[in-house]
Amino acid sequence: MIFQVGATLLDACVLSTLRKQDAYGYVLTQTLRDTLEISESTLYPVLRRLQKDALLSTYDRPHQGRNRRYYAITEKGLRKASEYRDAWTEHKTRVDRLLEGGGSNEQ
């Protein structure tokens, strides 16, 4: 991928992915890798920050003698994901217009 993914877009992608269902880190990384170039070492600090900001919560479930930490989106996280989606739609429309040769004032 040529374009780098900034922190805000990564947050938006994580929150949007978790809107569908809770996930543990490995599965979340694999899901995001379908679209973005991301490693687990990049993802875990993002998850911790989103949790600190009360956008995610966690819970543990036993699996083969170990606990898996699952991440779940909170109500605040759902609101933030919606805000990100709206902002992305507007941003994407503007960038598409520029890339297609139009000016920023065209509709």
Please tell me the predicted confidence (pLDDT) of residue 39.
Answer: 86
Identity of the residue numbered 94: R
| Tokens representing residue 28 in the block | 């979340």
Average pLDDT over residues 52-66: 95
Long-range contacts made by residues 57-64, C-beta under 8 angstroms, separation at least 24?
Answer: 59/22
Please tell me the predicted confidence (pLDDT) of residue 3.
Answer: 74
Please tell me the predicted confidence (pLDDT) of residue 1.
Answer: 60
For the chain, list the domains and their CATH numbers: 7-99 (1.10.10.10)
| Predicted confidence (pLDDT) per residue in 70-98, tens digit | 999 999 999 999 999 999 999 999 999 99
DSSP 4: P
| Predicted confidence (pLDDT) per residue in 4-32, tens digit | 788 999 999 999 999 999 999 999 999 99
